[in-house]
Amino acid sequence: MNQDELKKQVGDEAVKYIQDGMIVGLGTGSTVSCLIDSLGEKIRQKHLHITCVTTSKNTSKHAKEQNIKLIPLDDVDHIDLTIDGADEISADFQGIKGGGGSLLWEKIVANISDNYIWIVDESKMSNKIGEHFKLPVEVVPFGSKQLFRRFTKLGYKPTWRMDSKGEHRFHTDSDNYIIDLHMGAIEHPHHLADSLIRTVGVIEQGLFLDRVNAVIVGHDSGPEYMQARP
């Protein structure tokens, strides 16, 4: 199976965990796109009452195309289940997210979710986070070159996230910039997360630590459900 087929496999599998009456958080990215298509189909076929909260403008657009009922995050008192993609997941289920630039909204939604599942193809699994994927950091535009210089001095090898044409800086849905850090395997992710989030000008960073309850991994042999924490 190619990567797109594995993404569809886990998207279809994850829909099985969505029950009638649930409030569901929808993540962002190409794997979640497969989930949205599959969920739209399930809702139509089974006449389910599912209400969703989204983590990006792109996801809202796609969910609306599938006639999925959306509700603003501030209008819910809890989320039963959020399903999202991830960019890299370590053997101890720590993750890097933000490849699509939606880390801030994704983290806010994850934070109020009773159950939080990542869906990924097997290429996303690694030994230590940072081995294969950059670490995205969302920053306020004002003074962001100062932050860039600081990250350079710290040896974090920063690059600016650019738009799809590579001409302008990428803007997040909250109109911030993203600086990607290319630091290799991250030995002390909690320490790094603390120090980044205490840096003035940093809005959020892409380490999602001690958060996910389960991961569904796509393989040629079929989807694998891995319990991370209760």
Just list the catalytic residues: 106
| Per-residue three-class SS string for 201-224 | CEEEECEECCCCCEEEEECCCCCE
What is the 8-class DSSP label of residue 162? B
Shortest reach from residue 97's CB to ligand 5RP, in Å: 3
Shortest reach from residue 110's CB to ligand 5RP, in Å: 11
* Spatial distance between the Cα atoms of 86 and 215, rounded to a whole number of angstroms: 10
Residue nearest to ligand 5RP (CB): 29
**CB closer to ligand 5RP out of 6 and 68:** 6
**CB closer to ligand 5RP out of 50 and 86:** 86
Q: Residue 23: helix, strand or coil by DSSP?
A: strand
Question: How many alpha carbons lie under 13 Å from residue 75 in its C-beta half-sphere?
Answer: 8
Shortest reach from residue 61's CB to ligand 5RP, in Å: 15
Concatenated DSSP letters of 101-143: S-HHHHHHHHHTEEEEEEEEEGGGB-SSTTSSS-EEEEE-STT
Shortest reach from residue 100's CB to ligand 5RP, in Å: 3
In the complex, which residues of this chain contact ligand 5RP (CB under 6 A)? 27-31, 84-87, 97-103, 106
Of 228, 167, 217, 229, nearest to 7 (Cα)?
Answer: 217
* Spatial distance between the Cα atoms of 77 and 81, rounded to a whole number of angstroms: 13
